[in-house]
Amino acid sequence: MALTEFELIRRYFASPNAGATRDDVVLGVGDDGAILRPPAGMDLVAVADTLIEGVHFPVGSAPGSIGHRALAVNLSDIAAMGAKPAWALLSLSLPQVEEIWLAAFTDGFARLARSHAVALVGGDTTGGALVANVQVLGFLPAGEGLRRSGGQPGDWVFVSGTPGDAAAGLALEMGAEGPGGLDEAWLRDRFLYPTPRVGLGQLLRSLASACIDVSDGLFGDLGKLVAASGCGAEIDVTQLPLSPALIRVLGAEQALQRALSGGDDYELCFTIPDSRLREAQTLLAGQATPTRCIGRLRSGSDVILQRAGTVMEFSHPGFDHFAR
């Protein structure tokens, strides 16, 4: 017999199957709404992101990856604000109810949710094209949220992780010819299972002057940070942290292009005032997530790329859904 909607929600989306259990969830999945108890003295941070089959992930992607990414992209936004995630809502549109698919989707979502102590507190389930919309709510001490807009000329520009891997991984997922083996598998995983930099974001709250998460390509997203901050930036492309796997698979030049313009990295790009640089370097060195200084904010309004003393021409705008 077909699963009723009630049974489907109970089985796949009710606590504890789909995330962490938390004391601040007064009422979770099952009623008309969730009742949540935010802590005193904290600001609430709210983010939302949608993944559409064929737009944000290839048709036929592994359901565990879709569940993971649907939450990860939101946790990345939470990280960029310097917040600690707490609660999530999941609105899912499904072409059909396939239990094997649903179990794997929920597993991908729930593993990541539990690892960040995030409770799934509600959502919606409908029939239609495959679309996952997730909202995450988190907290930070009142008034301490990070923004894109706080950067000043002279601040140092940093990026986490190794940008470009996910874009190469997506190309492989879409059928690009690869070398096989461990490098290819690792790059595919960097697209399929991104690591949101949640701990780093919270550390940056007390250090960074501005922060953005890199989802649409480093060059374009740094462009958004400098636009919001009302300044420009100069980046030394020889300092970009490229992964050994990316260089082996694409060669150094293509790897650099991917690192600048590829999407889906979910790394953090942030700025540190010169007066805090030493302290920041010490604290960042103690983090599990690697970070690298790649340049400096300056007056002006553009992102200028320097390579061994010459300006590198580059105009990739980053991904824009409406620029077709």
Sign of CA dihedral 136, 137, 138, 140: positive
| By the rule CB under 6 A, 134 interacts with ligand ADP | no
Among 45, 73, 112, 120, binds ligand ADP (CB under 6 A): 120
Q: Which helix (H) or strand (E) holds 225?
A: helix 218-229
| By the rule CB under 6 A, 124 interacts with ligand ADP | yes
| By the rule CB under 6 A, 90 interacts with ligand ADP | yes
**For ligand ADP, which is the closer residue by CB, 32 or 177?**
32
| By the rule CB under 6 A, 9 interacts with ligand ADP | yes
Structure tokens at 68: 């993971």
The contacts of residue 151 (CB under 8 Å, 6+ apart) are 209, 210, 225, 226, 228, 229, 231, 271, 297
Please write down the HEC assignment for all residues of 162-210. CCCHHHHHHHHHCCCCCCCHHHHHHHHHHHHCCCCCHHHHHHHCCCCCE
Query: What's the CA gap between 133 and 194, in Å, rounded?
Result: 17
Is 53:59 a contact under the CB 8 Å cutoff? Answer: yes
CB of 124 to Mg ion, least distance (A): 5
**For ligand ADP, which is the closer residue by CB, 9 or 140?**
9
| By the rule CB under 6 A, 320 interacts with ligand ADP | no
Q: 138, 137, 135: which is closest to 48 by C-alpha?
A: 135
How many residues in the shown chain lie near ligand ADP by CB under 6 A? Answer: 14
**For ligand ADP, which is the closer residue by CB, 122 or 241?**
122
**For Mg ion, which is the closer residue by CB, 97 or 293?**
97
**For Mg ion, which is the closer residue by CB, 3 or 185?**
3
CB of 93 to ligand ADP, least distance (A): 10
**Residues at the interface with ligand ADP (CB under 6 A):** 5, 9, 13, 29-32, 90, 92, 120, 122-125
**Residues at the interface with Mg ion (CB under 5 A):** 124
